[in-house]
Amino acid sequence: GAVVSQHPSWVICKSGTSVKIECRSLDFQATTMFWYRQFPKQSLMLMATSNEGSKATYEQGVEKDKFLINHASLTLSTLTVTSAHPEDSSFYICSARDGGRQTGTEAFFGQGTRLTVV
């Protein structure tokens, strides 16, 4: 199956600094990527939908100025957590579909990034 690579796998940063997480589709073009946040023992919470060449669509309650999403190419989307605080500590997951907006196809997921803000 298709591969989505997410980097880094884990990161520790100091409060007040910014952290960038990359999500790459390695063997397909992903017009649309999705960013999720997952709290311990909970389900995935959609944060935003990232469309190549346009602004991301954020879910209600997600601060777009704190969680900056850039989808500059068909194979790369980035999530930057700005001015991180301990409450931003979480597991972040990206996913992408081969063929972009086609419904019903398998969504491929990155390995996830565990962010710890100290």
Partner 1 sequence: AQTVTQSQPEMSVQEAETVTLSCTYDTSESDYYLFWYKQPPSRQMILVIRQEAYKQQNATENRFSVNFQKAAKSFSLKISDSQLGDAAMYFCAYEGSNYQLIWGAGTKLIIKP
Region class of 16: left (phi > 0), else alpha (psi between -120 and 50), else beta:
left
Distance CA 60, CA 62 (A): 6
Q: Please say whether the beta carbons of 60 and 43 come within 8 A.
A: no
Closest contact distance (angstroms) between CB of 101 and partner 1 is 6
Closest contact distance (angstroms) between CB of 99 and partner 1 is 11
Q: Summarize as ranges the residues that interact with partner 1 (CB under 8 A).
A: 32, 34, 38, 42-44, 46, 49, 91, 93, 95, 97, 101-104, 106-107, 109, 111-112
Distance CA 115, CA 99 (A): 29
Closest contact distance (angstroms) between CB of 83 and partner 1 is 26
Q: How many DSSP H helices and E strands does the chain contain? A: 0, 11
Closest contact distance (angstroms) between CB of 53 and partner 1 is 18
Q: Closer to partner 1 by CB, 46 or 74: give it.
A: 46
Q: Closer to partner 1 by CB, 51 or 78: give it.
A: 51
Q: Closer to partner 1 by CB, 49 or 82: give it.
A: 49
Distance CA 99, CA 94 (A): 16
Q: Closer to partner 1 by CB, 84 or 92: give it.
A: 92
Would you say how long the chain is, in residues?
118
